[in-house]
Amino acid sequence: MDYRFSSHVERLQSSAVRDILKLTQGQEIISFAGGLPAEELFPLEAISDAAQRVFAAGKGSLQYGLTEGYLPLREQLCGRMAAKGMQVEPDQMIMTTGSQQAIDLIVRVLMEPGDVVLVENPTYLASLQVFNLGGLRIVPVPSDKDGMIMADAERLMREHKPRMVYVVPTFGNPTGRVWSLDRRKGLLELCSRFGIPILEDDPYGEIKFNANDYFPTLFSLAGAADGGGVLYTSTFSKTVAPALRTGWAIGDRRVIQMLAKAKQAADLHSSTLDQQTLDQLLREFPLDEHIRRIGDAYGARLGQMENLLKSQNWPDVKWITPQGGMFLWLEFPEALDTQALLRSAVTKGVAFVPGAAFYAAAPQRHTARLNFTYTEGERMALGISRLAEALGEFTARL
């Protein structure tokens, strides 16, 4: 059979991270590439106990569930959202297969092929994939360490009439960037004026290295019961475990209802075993304490990676110390193409993600994303020394 594929899927690039992982299969590679949480911090026993309580509740726990998600979990999650200044009812929430699916469903519900979405530059790679799959035109907004530059955002809104703005305001991926309060309010004001919905993606917001930091979400700043034009997505993948594949979206009831209609067609509902397990977990397990432990541990790992990098004395390698999240964003000298560096690095047994993949346009090819949460101690040190070796040989050849 001579299959013909849909044009949007044909154009879809396989993820750079994924391709690198394929490259490294069968080799002993220390990977700073993936966005993997630290396995040793997964609350395995608590999850196992929670699952046992689900099974103990009887065979009804194995039946089909609601498309919107398991109601007791949504109720508990509304409490968690309220504690972060987001007052929502369970019918303003839909549970999804990771927050990735929430992004995909929002695109399917709000966007038509050819519609424009504004994004930070650089931004989360897999959201770019969703936008490409949806046939969207992706317009990147010039951004600095404080977020999108508002003058550019306004100009591009007038020029392109976007149907959505996608942002990761707290601990952005790949940069770790935290938007300033001014920029947060600025974007809300602009989007309200132009009538543009905001998709606020917040997978990392709880992973803070200083527990006292507080970065209000756009949803909470909008100060409206319906989110004031903000759709907010998050996930348990980083705070509990990725295998449970449970994320969610909150927002205006009409949008949630449309998302439920689309999700009903897309997969009926996400795993109810996972959702019930999370519901049981939240009842007995001190999740907020656990999240603080994760933040402390990740902060320490970041510290180790920064010390290792500083000790290399690489000339002209810069980064901004992130205050949370899972990634360190490096800028090498402009002449250095990190895609080429990666090929050398892999032969030395270390991997990272070249930064170009995160740009919707005008890629800065001298950037790289390093994950600091999956490795630690000697293994992290060995990885950085391998990277140093690769960089030494590579620059000698330039």
In the complex, the smallest distance separating the C-beta of residue 39 from a copy of itself, rounded to whole angstroms, is: 5
In the complex, the smallest distance separating the C-beta of residue 101 from a copy of itself, rounded to whole angstroms, is: 4
In the complex, the smallest distance separating the C-beta of residue 150 from a copy of itself, rounded to whole angstroms, is: 19
Task: Report in angstroms the alpha-carbon separations of 114 from 8, 13, 131, 137, 253.
Answer: 11, 18, 10, 6, 26
Written as one string, the DSSP assignment of 89-139 is: -GGGEEEEEHHHHHHHHHHHHH--TT-EEEEESS--HHHHHHHHHTTPEEE
97 binds a copy of itself (CB under 8 A): yes
Q: How far apart are CA 137 and CA 127, in angstroms?
A: 13
100 binds a copy of itself (CB under 8 A): yes
- β pairing state of 137-141 and 116-120: parallel
Which residue, 279 or 341, is less far from a copy of itself as judged by CB? 279
272 binds a copy of itself (CB under 8 A): yes
Among the candidate windows 94-102, 182-190, 205-213, 286-294, which touches a copy of itself by CB under 8 A? 94-102
87 binds a copy of itself (CB under 8 A): no
Which residue, 275 or 344, is less far from a copy of itself as judged by CB? 275
CB atoms within 10 A of CB 303: 13
91 binds a copy of itself (CB under 8 A): no
**43-82 positions binding a copy of itself, by CB under 8 A:** 44, 47-48, 51-52, 55, 58-65, 67
Q: How far apart are CA 282 and CA 192, in angstroms?
A: 35
In the complex, the smallest distance separating the C-beta of residue 185 from a copy of itself, rounded to whole angstroms, is: 17
Give the one residue of 71, 150, 262, 320 binding a copy of itself; rule: CB under 8 A: 262
12 binds a copy of itself (CB under 8 A): yes
Among the candidate windows 109-117, 151-159, 337-345, 383-391, which touches a copy of itself by CB under 8 A? 109-117
On whether the CB atoms of residues 287 and 281 are closer than 8 A, the answer is: yes
**174-193 positions binding a copy of itself, by CB under 8 A:** 192
Give the one residue of 72, 242, 363, 392 binding a copy of itself; rule: CB under 8 A: 242
Fill in the per-residue mask, 274 to 313: x = in contact with a copy of itself (CB under 8 A), - = not in contact: x-xx------------------------------------
On whether the CB atoms of residues 227 and 251 are closer than 8 A, the answer is: yes
Q: Residue 334: exposed, middle, or buried by beta-carbon count in 10 A (0-12, 13-18, 19+)?
A: exposed
Give the one residue of 19, 23, 24, 34 binding a copy of itself; rule: CB under 8 A: 34
DSSP reduced 3-state for 154:
helix
250 binds a copy of itself (CB under 8 A): no
Which residue, 5 or 214, is less far from a copy of itself as judged by CB? 5
Closest CA to 361 of 19, 122, 118: 122
In the complex, the smallest distance separating the C-beta of residue 65 from a copy of itself, rounded to whole angstroms, is: 7
109 binds a copy of itself (CB under 8 A): yes
**336-365 positions binding a copy of itself, by CB under 8 A:** none
Q: How far from each other are the two terminal CA atoms of the chain, in whole angstroms?
A: 47
26 binds a copy of itself (CB under 8 A): no
Pick left, alpha or beta for residue 392 (phi over 0 → left; psi -120 to 50 → alpha; otherwise beta): alpha
DSSP letter for 12, please: P
Which residue, 68 or 120, is less far from a copy of itself as judged by CB? 68
On whether the CB atoms of residues 312 and 384 are closer than 8 A, the answer is: yes
238 binds a copy of itself (CB under 8 A): no
DSSP reduced 3-state for 178:
strand
Closest CA to 156 of 165, 169, 147: 165
DSSP letter for 308, please: H
In the complex, the smallest distance separating the C-beta of residue 199 from a copy of itself, rounded to whole angstroms, is: 12
